[in-house]
Structures are given as structure tokens and as C-alpha cells.
Amino acid sequence: MALTVLDAGVVIAILDGRDVHREVAIRAVAAAMDRGDDLVLPASAYAEVLVALHRRGTDAVETVDAILDALPAVIEPATRVAARRAADLRARHGKAVRLPDALVIATALALGAECVITTDGRWPSLPVPVEVAGSSAG
């Protein structure tokens, strides 16, 4: 089985019916599931997803947890190895890779993921294949 890492933007798009990336994000995640990929959401991305939901209340957070469980998507804890690799990516790429993105990418690298799905088309060339929801890159 392949391993696909999800960026926060993908999950946010799927959850928000008004997000311009919603349909392509749904298709990208569905394609990964159809391939039989295991889905991982780094803890850092999970926290990003939950920020706005916490403003709405506990029920919104619990709904998202139920959706992630149904996918199923595993929440991958941040590790020292991933944090160190994220710092290296951020140092190498500067503003082209923000720290939250670097943590997602570093988690994918640490896990040996085959792919990262994101809605952010601004990422530079990286040492892991990146699928920008709606197109392909990397």
C-alpha cells in the first residue's frame, strides 16, 4: 500500500462547501483512496484545520474528527526527525516554503510517503512527489 500525506488546505477545502478547491480536493483524496493509499494528516496540519473549527465550538471539532476517522486518515505526531527536516527545508527554500508546509513535507519524507496532496501550487520542486489538487506537479 502507498502512503499519501494530506496538507491542511486539502482538508479545509473538503470541509468548506464554499472553498474554490473543494471539488478538486475531493477528487484527489478519492483517487488516493481508490488506489488503496493510506492517508496521513500531520499533527501540524490537523491543528491548522482545527483553528477555525474551535471558534465554532466542540461539535464542529468532533464532526471533523468523525470525518477523518471515516476516511480513514491517521494523525501523525510531530517527531524530532520531522521537525529537524522541516527546519532544513525552511532554511533552504526561504519564503517559498512556510514552516507549516515544511512540517507537512518533512513528515512525508520521514514516513517515506509516495505523495503529498496540497492545494498550494506555489511549492518549489521538493524531494517528495507533490500533487496539487486539480493538477499534477513534482
Tell me whether residue 52 is in a domain.
Answer: yes
* Mean pLDDT (whole number) for 37-42: 98
Is the pLDDT at 137 greater than 60? The verdict is: no
Three cell numbers, residue 5: 500525506
Provide DSSP, 91-131.
Answer: HHHGGGS-HHHHHHHHHHHHHT-SEEEES-TT----SS-EE
Pairing mode of beta strands 130-132, 38-42: unpaired
- The domain in which residue 83 lies consists of 3-132
Whether 138 maps to a domain, the answer reads no
Q: How many domains does the chain have?
A: 1
Does the residue 137 lie in any domain? no
Q: Is residue 98 included in any domain, yes or no? A: yes
Assign residue 35 the CATH number of its domain. Answer: 3.40.50.1010
Whether residue 110 lies inside any domain: the answer is yes
pLDDT digits (tens, 9 = 90+) for 56-97: 999 999 999 999 999 899 999 999 999 999 999 999 999 999
pTM over 0.85: yes
